[in-house]
Copies of this chain bind each other. A is one copy, B any other.
């Protein structure tokens, strides 16, 4: 493989790294949003939405690149799947923020804040892992740690769900908080799906 192709290869991973970097920015905005007062949340949600739109554009550019390239550094289908799953992580983060704003929930529970903290760690680990796809090295700690975080998130989610459904008496409030905690859980699952995909790719290519 000549110099031209190598350079081309790297640009795939640079795009994925940039998309994953947006996950950090987006999740940090979600984190600020859940700790903010009601009147500051709209602005943060708008900022997050700009980040999500930017990620959509990058994902689109990445997919066009994959579809237009004669050769891709990893299996074409695996490349696409990585981009789709990164996109799921961002979409669900954005959706959770939107629900929190639309539902105008004054106080979020402690467990919801913990779910967001885990998402912040997932975003950082994922952004750190993306450039390592180039050499497919040192990825194991990434997927092991994401799995550990997802197990922790599962327990928090179940505790959150139990508290919401069994201890809150206002049904509309139950509907709202349940939706938010579920969306955050889905976001965490999306990181796990991405990590499982990366594990599969690493094993296949090794």
Contact = CB atoms under 8 A, between A and B. Distances in A.
A200 interface: yes
Given A172-B171, A175-B175, A203 B161 contact: no
A98 B158 CA distance: 9
A165 interface: yes
17 contacts: A63-B200, A67-B203, A68-B203, A68-B204, A80-B200, A98-B158, A102-B158, A102-B162, A102-B166, A103-B165, A103-B166, A165-B172, A165-B176, A169-B172, A171-B172, A175-B175, A175-B178
Interface in A165-205: 165-166, 169, 171-172, 174-176, 178, 200, 203-204
A36 interface: no
A68 B204 CA distance: 5
Interface residues of A, number: 24
B203 A64 contact: yes
8 smallest A-B Cβ distances: which pairs? A171-B171, A67-B204, A67-B203, A102-B162, A67-B200, A64-B203, A171-B172, A102-B161
Nearest to A77: B77
A104 interface: yes
Contacts of A80: 200
A62 to B, nearest CB: 11
